[in-house]
Amino acid sequence: VNELTQTIATYAQIAGAYARARQDRAPLKPHFERFAALLEPGGRVLDAGSGPGFDTAVLQSAGFRALGLDLSWQMLRAGRDELGLCAPLVQGDLRALPFGAGSFDGVWACAALLHLPRTAVAPALGELRRVLAGGGVLYLSVQQGEGEGWQPRAYGQARPRFFTYWQPAALDAALAAAGLRPNYASAEAAGPTVWLNRLARAAG
Ligand SMILES: C[S@@+](CC[C@H](N)C(=O)[O-])C[C@H]1O[C@@H](n2cnc3c(N)ncnc32)[C@H](O)[C@@H]1O
């Protein structure tokens, strides 16, 4: 079974439960503030792997021209159906973005790259870098750990999702290889999960 195909099929099933469970974005506030401080007011921001678009909405209310993109239309629709969100969202694949080079001043990729097999992450970072203007800012978060593999349950359902876990040094090397210069790094525990957060600027 293809890792991403199965994971996206799981998101189709859990979209409503995910939207209800993850709507509190307050824990991300410090990351929003650091990201926003590196951007010009009104800048163009892509929320890559936006899911229901919570963060697209937060970015929009902060005055950015924000657009969310996700491979799962059920996840995109869950934001509207479950929570009444109305930020602009499009269905698409962050590995092959339907935007020209330099289209965005910022890319927000919260818990989005963590489902790609490790070998797919370098090309995906290259793609996020491609749509960033020179000096543009990337935020990303992934889970810390060893290896990659299937988690059998998601949001109370016996449906599998594939996760790739990262060591900080490997993540930083992948960012550097994509032409993204580190600006901020943290590791943050949330229960048993440790989130690696990164801000990086596109070279040039
Ligand atoms: C853990 S959710 C995070 C959603 C949202 N960013 C958040 O923080 O709530 C992961 C999301 O990534 C999306 N996703 C995974 N691979 C993707 C890809 N290649 N292109 C676009 N979206 C993808 C999934 O459909 C899912 O909505």
Task: Give the whole-angstrom CA distance, residue 12 versus residue 29.
Answer: 27
Interval 103-131: pLDDT, tens: 999 999 999 999 999 999 999 999 999 99
Interval 155-195: pLDDT, tens: 999 999 999 999 999 999 999 999 999 999 999 999 999 99
Residue bearing the CA closest to ligand 1, atom 25: 72
Task: Give the whole-angstrom CA distance, residue 167 versus residue 101.
Answer: 29
The CA-based dihedral angle spanning residues 97, 101, 107, 111, taken in that order and rounded to the nearest 10 degrees: 30
Binned at pLDDT 50, 70 and 90, residue 149 comes out as: very high
- Reduce the DSSP state of residue 173 to 3 states and report it: helix
Parallel/antiparallel/unpaired status of strands 161-164 and 148-151: antiparallel
Task: Give the whole-angstrom CA distance, residue 56 versus residue 196.
Answer: 20
- Reduce the DSSP state of residue 199 to 3 states and report it: strand
Task: Give the model's pLDDT for residue 204.
Answer: 76
Residue bearing the CA closest to ligand 1, atom 26: 51
Task: Give the model's pLDDT for residue 69.
Answer: 98
Task: Give the model's pLDDT for residue 36.
Answer: 98
Interval 37-67: pLDDT, tens: 999 999 999 999 999 999 999 999 999 999 9
Q: Which residue has the tokens 């370098």?
A: 122
Tell whether the model's pLDDT for residue 1 goes beyond 80.
no
pTM more than 0.85: yes
Task: Give the model's pLDDT for residue 15.
Answer: 97
Mean pLDDT of 86-100: 97
Task: Give the model's pLDDT for residue 29.
Answer: 97
Question: Which of 175, 17, 167 lies closest to 82, judged by CA?
Answer: 17
Report the residue among 18, 24, 32, 50 best suited for mutation to probe ligand 1: largest number of ligand atoms under 8 A from its CB.
50
Contacts of 64 (CB under 8 A, 6+ apart): 36, 39, 42, 43, 44, 45, 106
Binned at pLDDT 50, 70 and 90, residue 18 comes out as: very high
* Distance from residue 37's CA to the centre of ligand 1 (Å): 24
Report the residue among 6, 75, 116, 162 best suited for mutation to probe ligand 1: largest number of ligand atoms under 8 A from its CB.
75
